[in-house]
Amino acid sequence: MKKYVLFFTVGLAWAACTRVPITGRSQLNLVPESTMQSMALQQYQSFLSENKVVPQTSSKDAEMVKRVGQRIAAAVTKYMNEHGMSKEAASYKWEFNLVDSKEVNAWCMPGGKVVVYTGLLPVTQNETALACVMGHEIAHAIARHGNERMSQGLIAQGIQMAGAVALNQNPTAVNLFNQAFGAGSNVALLAYSRKDELEADHLGIIFMAMAGYSPQEAIPFWQRMSKMGSSGQKPPELLSTHPSDATRIAQLEKLMPEAMKYYTPATTK
């Protein structure tokens, strides 16, 4: 019996194996993306109802968040359409909101629901650095890092759960999603692994470059963030699970020639 379970497990894992765009890394995504997006939408709408959203019609900052997000989303969609991922691209229903909070943070839920906190803007200081952060967070969603982490949890709990038709109503699966995306907290931050963070850095600077933002701005931005994390104060939420400053900066410098190949300057405000 155990042998058959093993064969089923291996077979299902093989069938659910996908590759991350750009890096080509093989990963395991057991949860249908439509299910991830449905569960994320519920969390996103709940978050917006419980927090103060800055109106885009009366705030230049909120307008900037939307502008940056739309430019990156357009570039990502174009890339996906050109690389055989048009179906996946069409499933994203992009939204960009600025939320009034002192937290130095931002995130992107599966399906393209993006939130930036006002506390981040004094650190980004300019639109290009904001594009660095938003590109990074959007990269997590495009790379399906949340699905990958939840899939790992499903395997630990029992591989047969991955085939559940109503996975979003399965208490154990819902609990895994809540653990992954910080549901029930004001942060709603996915505690990604450092490997995922470095991969998001990689995709993120390419996405911002595709959108016409200089990827070179990523290095001074993360240097500013590192100073905040080493000042003796509580590290920003955005740094909570990130790689060491030296590791991050070294990788960004190594990847910069690749990112610059995607960069065509565009007019920014």
Query: pLDDT at position 10, please?
Result: 42
- Positive or negative torsion for Cα 216, 221, 223, 226: negative
Q: pTM for the whole thing?
A: 0.85
State phi, psi for 104 to the nearest 5 degrees.
-90, 85
Q: How many residues does the chain have?
A: 269
Query: pLDDT at position 130, please?
Result: 98
Q: Which residue(s) pair with 54 in the sheet? A: 98
Rounded Cα distance, 72 and 94, in Å: 10
Q: Show pLDDT as tens, one digit a residue, over the chain (269 residues).
A: 434 333 334 444 434 678 899 999 998 888 888 888 988 898 899 999 999 999 999 999 999 999 999 999 999 999 999 999 999 999 999 999 999 999 989 999 999 999 999 999 999 999 999 999 999 999 999 999 988 888 877 777 664 554 444 566 677 777 777 666 654 344 344 456 788 889 999 999 999 999 999 999 999 998 888 887 655 555 555 555 555 677 888 999 999 999 999 999 875 44
Query: pLDDT at position 65, please?
Result: 98
Query: pLDDT at position 254, please?
Result: 96
Query: pLDDT at position 267, please?
Result: 59
Nearest to 197 by CA among 251, 253, 122: 251
Q: Phi-psi bin for 111: left (phi > 0), alpha (psi -120 to 50), beta?
A: left
